[in-house]
């Protein structure tokens, strides 16, 4: 600050009424030992601290001020450490209660009104998103309730708004996974409003943008999804956040693959995986590897896909997610089919198909059945194709498939009966099912 601060500005500084940037400027000016400004600031100290004689001397006693600040910092650090230590047990106690009781507890009990506990709830919601989207929504809703009740005097209002925005973003993502797109849109709108009332931390903003880009991709609004990802990438690079950059590039790769730009998808996924820390987020690392293997196979690079699958196999087992392991086997069957290992592929695909039926995952069962149909088409096995088609409709009518998708499967069945099924028709029906799932807002279990 080249010029002397206005006396009114110094008065506001003493009262801690200035924004952070202006505070820093004035502190630097005073530390430069500007006698006139120090004397003006000292005259305001009795008012700021509730009366008393004007301090003597020309300079501030920064030693006492720093000592007080350090004692307060230590007190807050001890409080936060105790809060973090208590949060896991609080979460265990909460999850042991029925769902309606859980909500009552987080609303009424002051024990649950802590930053660390809220973060644990949001992390639990992310974990459940991989396994049970409905449970993920419940956990995220609890996180929203806790964030809304945090004490601004303890954490600061702007920081509380940041965490509340994060909670709404996690809820929006859980709703997106279950394809509740209208609810997800509303949640992201609330998150963005809270961010504007927060600290304006770019990383907090980027986290919401990244989750929202995934929603736009599921809604087939790819242009908007890529714009959101461009903003996320820019923030990650400006903040030198390699993990955030890796996540954004992985998401871009997944969306590019969904939009059938396989070459660009593979390039983006490779770049993203290179920047990811697998220890920090092992599930994301496995999901990224899975989609890279899938797109390599879809683009005809089956030998490389199989090599990468074998090297990635331990990662799937380390994560231990049952749906992830089931998708690993599905991917093995697809690659084996592409490599001409038909007997092996058929056995794998049939086994996985039965498990999907038992889990009541109608859309996934339909898509896998079409992979099996493709295997039969390559071998000219019309009789097996007809039997498969005849099995499909009775299963799907009782599961999560809407009437337009059933109509497409009905046409496939008729084509099989007439022995007019081609690989091109199978690809068209499969693409239609995947697009209609997003358009209709039905439940999705795609790799995440």
Domain ranges of the chain: 7-72, 88-200, 360-448
pLDDT (0 to 100) of residue 29: 77
Mean pLDDT of 204-227: 93
pLDDT (tens digit, 9 = 90+) per residue, 77-124?
777 788 888 888 999 999 889 888 998 998 898 888 999 999 999 999
CA angle 16, 22, 23 (to 5 degrees): 40
pLDDT (tens digit, 9 = 90+) per residue, 167-215?
999 999 999 888 788 999 999 999 999 999 999 999 999 999 999 999 9
Compute the mean pLDDT over every residue in the chain, rounded to the nearest whole number. 83
Mean pLDDT of 415-419: 70
Binned at pLDDT 50, 70 and 90, residue 447 comes out as very low
CA distances from 224 to 172, 220, 236, 316 (A): 17, 9, 19, 32
Whether 44 shows a pLDDT value over 70: the answer reads no
More confident residue, 431 or 47: 431
pLDDT (0 to 100) of residue 5: 78
% of residues, the chain, pLDDT over 90: 41
Across 403-428, b (16+ Cβ under 10 Å) vs e yields eebbebbeebbebbeeeebeeebbee
Instruction: Pick the range with the lowest mean pLDDT from 72-76, 185-189, 288-292.
Output: 72-76
pLDDT (0 to 100) of residue 245: 95
Spatial distance between the Cα atoms of 66 and 197, rounded to a whole number of angstroms = 30
Instruction: Pick the range with the lowest mean pLDDT from 14-28, 41-55, 194-208, 427-441.
Output: 41-55
pLDDT (0 to 100) of residue 48: 46
Residue whose C-alpha is closest to residue 278's, from 310, 324, 243, 304: 243
Whether 4 shows a pLDDT value over 90: the answer reads no
pLDDT (0 to 100) of residue 397: 57
Instruction: Please answer whether residues 345 and 333 qualify as being in contact, where contact means their C-beta atoms are separated by less than 8 angstroms.
Output: yes
């Amino acid at each position: 600050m080249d010029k002397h601060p206005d006396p009114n500005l110094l008065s506001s500084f003493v009262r801690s009424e200035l924004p952070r940037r202006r505070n820093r400027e004035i502190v630097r000016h005073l530390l430069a030992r500007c006698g006139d400004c120090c004397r003006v600031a000292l005259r305001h100290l009795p008012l700021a601290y509730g009366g008393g004689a004007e301090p003597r001397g020309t300079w501030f006693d920064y030693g006492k001020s720093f000592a007080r600040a350090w004692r307060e910092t230590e007190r807050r650090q001890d409080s936060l450490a105790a809060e973090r230590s208590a949060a896991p047990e609080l979460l265990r106690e909460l999850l042991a209660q029925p769902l309606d009781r859980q909500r009552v507890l987080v609303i009424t009990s002051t024990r649950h009104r802590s930053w660390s506990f809220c973060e644990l709830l949001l992390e639990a919601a992310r974990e459940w998103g991989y396994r049970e989207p409905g449970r993920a929504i419940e956990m995220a809703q609890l996180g929203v309730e806790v964030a809304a009740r945090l004490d601004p005097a303890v954490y600061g209002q702007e920081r509380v708004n940041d965490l509340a925005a994060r909670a709404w973003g996690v809820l929006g993502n859980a709703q997106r996974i279950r394809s509740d797109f209208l609810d997800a849109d509303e949640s992201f709108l609330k998150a963005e409003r809270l961010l504007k009332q927060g600290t304006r931390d770019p990383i907090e903003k980027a986290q919401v943008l990244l989750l929202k880009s995934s929603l736009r991709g599921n809604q087939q609004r790819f242009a908007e999804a890529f714009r959101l990802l461009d903003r996320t990438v820019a923030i990650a690079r400006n903040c030198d956040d390699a993990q955030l950059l890796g996540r954004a590039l992985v998401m871009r790769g997944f969306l590019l693959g969904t939009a059938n730009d396989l070459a660009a998808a593979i390039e983006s996924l490779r770049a993203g995986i290179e920047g990811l820390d697998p220890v920090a987020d092992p599930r994301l690392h496995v999901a990224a590897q899975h989609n890279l293997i899938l797109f390599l196979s879809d683009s005809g690079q089956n030998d490389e896909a199989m090599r990468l699958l074998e090297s990635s196999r331990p990662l799937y087992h380390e994560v231990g997610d049952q749906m992830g392991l089931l998708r690993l086997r599905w991917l093995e069957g697809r690659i084996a089919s592409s490599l001409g290992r038909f007997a092996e592929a058929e056995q794998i695909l049939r086994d996985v198909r039965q498990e999907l039926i038992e889990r009541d995952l109608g859309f996934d069962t339909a898509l896998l059945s079409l992979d099996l149909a493709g295997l039969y088409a390559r071998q000219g096995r019309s009789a097996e194709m007809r039997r498969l088609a005849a099995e499909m409709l009775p299963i799907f009518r009782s599961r999560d498939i809407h009437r337009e998708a059933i109509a497409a499967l009905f046409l496939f069945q008729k084509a099989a009966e007439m022995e007019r099924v081609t690989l091109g028709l199978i690809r068209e029906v499969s693409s239609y099912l995947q697009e209609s799932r997003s358009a209709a807002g039905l439940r999705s279990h795609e790799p995440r």
